[in-house]
Amino acid sequence: MGQRNARAAGHLQRPGTTKTLGGTGGQALRRTVLPGGLRVVTEPVAGVRSASVGLWVGVGSRDEKRVQAGSAHYLEHLLFKGTQKRTAVDIAEQMDAVGGELNAFTNKEHTCFYAHVLDEDLSLAVDLICDVVFDAVNAASDVETERGVVLEEISMRDDDPEDVLHELFTTAVLGDHPLGRSVLGSEESIEGMTRARVHGFYRRSYQLPNMVLAVSGNVDHRTVLRLVRKTLGQRLDGEIEPAAPRAGRARLPKQDSLVLRTDDTEQAHLLLGCRGLDRHDPRRFVLGVLNAALGGGMSSRLFQEVREQRGLAYSVYSATTAFADAGLFCVYAGCQPNRLGDVVDVIREVLAEVAEHGLTEAEVARGRGQLRGALVLGLEDTASRMVRIGKSELNYGRHLSVEQTLDRIAEVTADDVAQLAGDLLRRPLTATVVGPYADRAALPDQLHRLNRKDATT
């Protein structure tokens, strides 16, 4: 099986070839590696009249030097400001004229430019996305205009305590590693952004071998290839192999145990967690079940203990984040400031109990069911399908079918969950808090003794 998967990996496929990755006939998932190293992956979907197109670039905020912080996101904004043949208004008007959506997002490891249109407007979607990504002007005047926009986006994030909390937690756990920095950059780095800096980042990072064009909906693979070849023309040149997926083990500094951001909020906002699993870890499906059963829904252990039985918080959940070489696991709760100590106690008790004894068979079954339902329901949306195949190609260079994924979820046992919980939930904890506390000394004692052996007694 390993050799078969290796031969199917996108970065090992020769330029100029096409492979069928799953399905049959008109519903087959196909990948073509074009000259220059661009991968085109399509997934036809029966019974729909839409098409979703995403051009994925394997570059994000983790690829920035400190002085470049925020460049990937800044560039995402800038590329929509105009190309060699279209103004920003032209781009917006042409997509609005067909009732479609054209947008983009940046995270720590990749950037995606996407469009959602009627199937008959597929050619426009491909042309617009390729024009924006490959022929942007990146004018100095636009760099100045977008500076104000990005600074406003940073201010908007800073006005949301939960967004601030997640930024603080990521930095506290991952430290000064590039993964620990904000995707948006800092006010200082954005104020210092220049056309030379952001355009240099663009020229170095936006290369065909590091890109995937993913298309899902009422589409035909050969038609998509024809449109891409017509649009990119001479750029598709050379026997260049696609870039391999990111992998390895991040070298992380020591994590902080307690971080406070003082803010005049009505609630105290808490994130409590630890380093998790990277996305290549074979236990990632077990982690998905553990996370769903522990804090993924109204029947979850944390929701029942913190909210339903004790009434300590309105919102409580657990979450995971997986990067190529690192990961995060955390529990969120929002509560009255004078109840924060009690909330920490209950969360710690739940984590300690699950670390020691695992979850019940019924809880694990519900966790599997949550993952199964989320996966299958998401398949009804062509945009979700496009994201699924685009991320799979960029992150792994291979694809699990829906049936294979469901099988992997079904294989997770209560023993698997208990074994992982015993490892993960005993790792050193980090707490980040946003709330009306003057300083760290004003925080409840439970937060100051998180990693002591007597913390839950």
**Each residue's pLDDT tens digit, 240-264:** 999 999 998 889 988 999 999 999 9
**Separation between Cα atoms, residue 168 and residue 63, nearest integer Å:** 20
Tokens representing 82 are 């105009």
Classify residue 101: in a domain, yes or no.
yes
**Each residue's pLDDT tens digit, 47-94:** 999 999 999 999 999 999 988 999 999 999 999 999 999 999 999 999
- Lowest mean pLDDT segment, chosen from 116-125, 431-440, 444-453: 444-453
DSSP 316-358: EEEEEEE-SS-EEEEEEEEE-GGGHHHHHHHHHHHHHHHHHH-
Q: Mean pLDDT for the chain?
A: 94
Q: Which residues pair with 56 in a beta bridge?
A: 112, 212
Classify residue 30: in a domain, yes or no.
yes
DSSP state of 294: H
Q: How many structural domains compose the chain?
A: 2
Query: What are residue 359's phi and psi, to 5 degrees?
Result: -115, 160
- The pLDDT assigned to 183 comes to 97
Query: Maximum CA pair distance of the chain?
Result: 68
Together in a domain, 302 and 365:
yes
Tokens representing 260 are 């406070």
- Average of per-residue pLDDT across 195-206: 94
Q: Distance from first CA to last CA of the chain, Å, rounded?
A: 48
- What is the pTM for the complete model shown? 0.93
- Average of per-residue pLDDT across 364-388: 95
Cβ burial, residue 46 (10 Å; 0-12/13-18/19+): exposed
Instruction: Inform me whether the pLDDT recorded for 26 exceeds 90.
Output: no
Residue-level length of the chain:
457
DSSP state of 43: E
Q: What domain range includes position 350?
A: 258-448
- The pLDDT assigned to 163 comes to 97
Instruction: Inform me whether the pLDDT recorded for 5 exceeds 60.
Output: no
Together in a domain, 90 and 195:
yes
- Average of per-residue pLDDT across 11-15: 89
- The pLDDT assigned to 4 comes to 41
Q: Which of 76, 146, 167, 363 is catalytic?
A: 76
Classify residue 431: in a domain, yes or no.
yes
- The pLDDT assigned to 313 comes to 96
- The pLDDT assigned to 249 comes to 87
Together in a domain, 332 and 225:
no
| Phi-psi category of residue 16: left, alpha or beta, with phi > 0 → left and psi -120 to 50 → alpha | left
Tokens representing 162 are 């939960």
Classify residue 245: in a domain, yes or no.
no
Together in a domain, 275 and 159:
no
Residue with token string 């039985």: 309
Query: What are residue 330's phi and psi, to 5 degrees?
Result: -150, 160
Cβ burial, residue 35 (10 Å; 0-12/13-18/19+): middle
Tokens representing 59 are 């570059």
Compute the CA torsion angle 245, 178, 55, 249 (nearest 10 deg). 10
Classify residue 440: in a domain, yes or no.
yes
Together in a domain, 192 and 111:
yes
Residues 456/355, Cβ–Cβ less than 8 Å: no
Together in a domain, 222 and 357:
no
Closest residue by Cα to residue 375 from 416, 414, 403, 413: 403
Classify residue 421: in a domain, yes or no.
yes
- Average of per-residue pLDDT across 171-199: 95
Together in a domain, 202 and 262:
no
Together in a domain, 265 and 218:
no
**Each residue's pLDDT tens digit, 311-333:** 999 999 999 999 999 999 999 99
Residues 40/13, Cβ–Cβ less than 8 Å: no
**Separation between Cα atoms, residue 248 and residue 394, nearest integer Å:** 15
**Each residue's pLDDT tens digit, 93-105:** 999 999 999 999 9
Closest residue by Cα to residue 116 from 130, 133, 99: 99
Instruction: Inform me whether the pLDDT recorded for 282 exceeds 60.
Output: yes
Q: What CATH number is given to the structural domain containing 223?
A: 3.30.830.10
Determine whether 308 is an active site residue. Answer: no
- The pLDDT assigned to 231 comes to 96
Q: What amino acid occupies position 410?
A: A
Residues 152/93, Cβ–Cβ less than 8 Å: no
**Separation between Cα atoms, residue 386 and residue 381, nearest integer Å:** 9
- Average of per-residue pLDDT across 337-351: 98
Cβ burial, residue 207 (10 Å; 0-12/13-18/19+): middle
Together in a domain, 282 and 193:
no
Together in a domain, 291 and 164:
no
- Average of per-residue pLDDT across 39-49: 96
Residues 185/157, Cβ–Cβ less than 8 Å: no
| Residue 105: how many other CB atoms lie within 10 Å | 12
Instruction: Inform me whether the pLDDT recorded for 226 exceeds 60.
Output: yes
- Average of per-residue pLDDT across 346-351: 98
| Residue 362: how many other CB atoms lie within 10 Å | 11
Residues 418/357, Cβ–Cβ less than 8 Å: yes
The upper half-sphere exposure of residue 12, i.e. CA atoms within 13 Å in the direction of its Cβ, equals 10
Together in a domain, 122 and 163:
yes
